[in-house]
């Protein structure tokens, strides 16, 4: 379906276990129809560059490939950026 192709991609840099990441995902739950969540496990060998960059900062979020926020969800910032992206594509 092409509708999902137009949704912004929210990338979550995470590792197991990550209670803060779980918390962040709960906060984002009401918005989940508006974006595609992509999780990147920074402990995997192919993600070592992200691990070096973010190991003390997760959860880290990128929206459409751009850094958005870290440590916890800034819901206002997230909503602003999401809305901005949604308006751009119309």
| DSSP-assigned states of every residue in 23-70 | HHHHHHGGGGGGSEEEEEETTSGGGHHHHHHHTTT-SEEEETTEEEEE
Cis check: omega of the bond before 59, within 30 degrees of 0: yes
Which residues are paired to 11 by β-bridges? Answer: 38, 62
What three-state secondary structure class fits 8? coil
Class of domain 9-88: alpha beta
Q: What's the pTM?
A: 0.91
Q: Where are the domains of the chain?
A: 9-88
Across the chain, mean pLDDT equals 94
Query: Are 75 and 24 a contacting pair, CB within 8 Å?
Result: no
Cα–Cα–Cα angle for 12, 6, 82, rounded to 5 degrees: 55
> Where does the pLDDT of residue 1 fall: very low under 50, low under 70, confident under 90, or very high at 90 and above?
very low
pLDDT at 5: 64
């Amino acid at each position: 379906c092409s509708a999902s192709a137009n949704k912004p991609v929210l990338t979550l840099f995470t590792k197991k276990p990550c209670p803060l990441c779980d918390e962040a995902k709960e906060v984002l739950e009401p918005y989940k129809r508006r974006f595609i969540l992509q999780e990147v496990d920074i402990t995997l060998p192919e993600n070592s560059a992200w691990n070096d960059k973010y190991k003390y900062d997760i959860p880290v979020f990128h929206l459409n490939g751009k850094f958005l926020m870290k440590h916890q969800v800034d819901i206002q910032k997230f909503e602003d950026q999401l809305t901005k992206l949604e308006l751009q594509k119309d």
